[in-house]
Structure 1
Amino acid sequence: MPISHAHLRSFHAVATHGSFTRAAEFLHITQPTLSGQVKELEERYGIKLFIRHGRRIELTDMGLSAYAITRHMFRYEEEVEQLLQSARALTTGKLRVAADSPYIATPLLAQFQRLYPGIQISIQYGNSEQLMTWLASRRCDVAFLPNIPQSDDRLFSIPLVPDNLVVFVSQDHAWADRQSVNMAELTNQRIVLREKGSRTRSIFEEAVRQSGLELKDVMEISGREGVREAVAAGFGVGIVAENELGADSRLSSLRVSDAELNHAEYVTCLKEHQALRVTDAFLDMIQSSQQAQ
């Protein structure tokens, strides 16, 4: 009796998502059904594919070997599906996007949607570390990343036009009417920063180190909107990419006069996803839009 495709798909989903719950949601089946299929696969061949530690799971050596094969298997399945869809001139399909911010991704996704109105787009937001995890686990097709590991040869990336980081304060702050500040002045203020793993935070902290200074007072808040609201309420001074600040009458922006605070952004995918029809069309659009600037 040949191996069950449904059983392999269930195993692959659990291995990819690292969770029976998330895998069941992804496959749109119940968790008991999913668990039963994985169990049947293990019992049929007398092996263990996962080690279960309560709610946490990890692949066994056999599971790792099987996952290396199913990754190729389901990638080829996706390529066949995309090939067949391409015959319909991209009238249907899906593009799963991850981004660290809506400000850069949203206009480009809107442009893509106008070109291909039949493509269903989904987007999820996270910090840089989360985006890399989602890419590696194939929970997204493309990601807007503020930095990419140069040594990671799994990735294909297109650089976007870089942006500058700026300081922002509330309108009640003593700096509200100034045009710029220096690093020494900044380090004497309470700085409101996102959680560790945020690229904005990493760029700013590196600039502080290169200036030979230290941050004396840091308030850490999870999420970009949380930082914005804290600064508007007068808790301290924020750091943000200039194009993400937007129009907010409660806030005022200033440049840093003695440090280079450049914020690069990339559109990134796994090389093995680059040839998929929808992903390829999106990357072509990105490259064309960057060349036009």
Structure 2
Amino acid sequence: MISMTQLRAFHFVAAAGGYTQAAREMAISQSTLSGQVRQLETSSGVALFERKARGVSLTADGEALYKITSRMFAALAEAGMLLKQPRTAGGRLRVAADGVVHCLPILRLLKTRRPHLAFSLTVQNSESVIETLLEYRADIGITAQLPRDDRLHVRSLASMRLGVFVAAQHPWAERTGMNLAELEGAAFVLRERGSRTRAIFEQNLARAGVGLGPVLEVVSREGVREAVAAGFGVGVTADLEFGFDSRLRYIPLADAAIGIDEYVVCNDEHRRLPIVADFLACAVETFRPEVGGL
């Protein structure tokens, strides 16, 4: 007979990609954890994992079960959060975002309404934000990639214009505007594939028939800024996301017709959870006050 203990053991191993890390997170021995998963496979007659030299991978049946247990344990966590804490106590919220510019003002407003709010913030590229939501590892996502998945509830948040930025010593540093054609052959520092800013920039370049020079690919947004400040090339960013850095200068791209739209996203089944609904309301008040109520 399948038990909740066995399902929980399976879920942690699947999420961790192996028994060692899962046992550590569950604070039980690896042999106990392995035995619980083995009991689940034996009682169901279904192989859930393929054992490898390092870690495990899910079988097709394991993938299907993991989607179910992800929903199940997320629902249990929500139920506990709803029942244990009154709305005014604050609650806990997991936010995944492709930057901090949009989420921090919303969280600041939310915290005025929920003074004891506890939240975690994970900054990822736009594609990863959506994956994190679908895997129930976040309650709210802010991303520049419009999701095409019926399981997600999406609201428009803000629109941004594209520009480039250079080191303060760069020959372009005093420019107040540029056209895409002027970027021909220039050395650039860009985020990894999966970055929405990079994808939109490349769409604008293709539309204008412009080719870049050598491209240095850096995984994080902070890494790109540091590489540009060090003189490795030109960076690209959205106007609202540039912020201030005395080492860098921002230059708008006058003819970059394709801009960047930012969205706030949650799993559709969670959008009426009080803390998620409050976040969505604060997002509207912060960035789209003309929209009015939810």
- Which category of TM-score, normalised to the shorter sequence, fits these structures? 0.7 to 0.9
Bigger Cα displacement from structure 2, 212-221 vs 51-60: 51-60
Name the counterpart of 1:43: 42
Aligned ranges for residues 218-233 of structure 1 at < 5 Å? Answer: 218-233=215-230
Q: Distance in 2 between matches of 1:275 and 1:91?
A: 18
Matched, 1:255 2:245: no
Secondary structure at the aligned position of 1:169 is classed as: strand
Q: Distance in 1 between matches of 2:76 and 2:217?
A: 43
Secondary structure at the aligned position of 2:87 is classed as: coil
Matched, 1:115 2:121: no
Shift of 1:102: 1.6
Name the counterpart of 2:137: 139
Unaligned runs of 5+ residues in structure 2 are none
Judged with a 3 Å threshold, the aligned counterparts in structure 2 of structure 1 residues 25 and 95 are, in CA distance, closer, same or farther, namely farther
Q: Distance in 2 between matches of 1:166 and 1:25?
A: 45
Name the counterpart of 1:288: 285
Q: Distance in 2 between matches of 1:111 and 1:119?
A: 11
Shift of 1:263: 1.6
Q: Distance in 2 between matches of 1:183 and 1:199?
A: 18
Shift of 1:155: 0.9
Contact 1:17/1:139, CA 8 A, preserved across alignment: no
Secondary structure at the aligned position of 1:181 is classed as: coil
Name the counterpart of 1:155: 152
Shift of 1:224: 0.8
Q: Distance in 2 between matches of 1:252 and 1:3?
A: 60
Shift of 1:240: 0.9
Q: TM (normalized to structure 1)? A: 0.88
Q: Distance in 1 between matches of 2:271 and 2:45?
A: 37
Judged with a 3 Å threshold, the aligned counterparts in structure 2 of structure 1 residues 56 and 85 are, in CA distance, closer, same or farther, namely same
Shift of 1:24: 4.6
Aligned residue identity for 1:245: F
Contact 1:16/1:137, CA 8 A, preserved across alignment: no
Judged with a 3 Å threshold, the aligned counterparts in structure 2 of structure 1 residues 29 and 91 are, in CA distance, closer, same or farther, namely farther
Aligned ranges for residues 78-97 of structure 1 at < 5 Å? Answer: 78-85=77-84, 88-97=86-95
Q: Distance in 1 between matches of 2:162 and 2:225?
A: 14
Shift of 1:288: 3.4
Contact 2:183/2:210, CA 8 A, preserved across alignment: no
Report the aligned-residue RMSD.
2.4
Name the counterpart of 2:51: 52
Matched, 1:3 2:2: yes
Secondary structure at the aligned position of 2:110 is classed as: helix
Aligned ranges for residues 136-285 of structure 1 at < 5 Å? Answer: 136-149=134-147, 151-285=148-282
Bigger Cα displacement from structure 2, 274-283 vs 64-73: 64-73
Q: Distance in 1 between matches of 2:30 and 2:95?
A: 25
Bigger Cα displacement from structure 2, 272-281 vs 223-232: 272-281
Judged with a 3 Å threshold, the aligned counterparts in structure 2 of structure 1 residues 57 and 136 are, in CA distance, closer, same or farther, namely farther
Q: TM (normalized to structure 2)? A: 0.88
Bigger Cα displacement from structure 2, 77-86 vs 252-261: 77-86
Secondary structure at the aligned position of 2:257 is classed as: coil
Unaligned runs of 5+ residues in structure 1 are none
Aligned ranges for residues 60-79 of structure 1 at < 5 Å? Answer: 60-79=59-78
Shift of 1:206: 0.6
Judged with a 3 Å threshold, the aligned counterparts in structure 2 of structure 1 residues 3 and 177 are, in CA distance, closer, same or farther, namely same
Secondary structure at the aligned position of 1:264 is classed as: strand
Aligned residue identity for 1:11: F
Judged with a 3 Å threshold, the aligned counterparts in structure 2 of structure 1 residues 132 and 18 are, in CA distance, closer, same or farther, namely farther
Secondary structure at the aligned position of 2:102 is classed as: helix
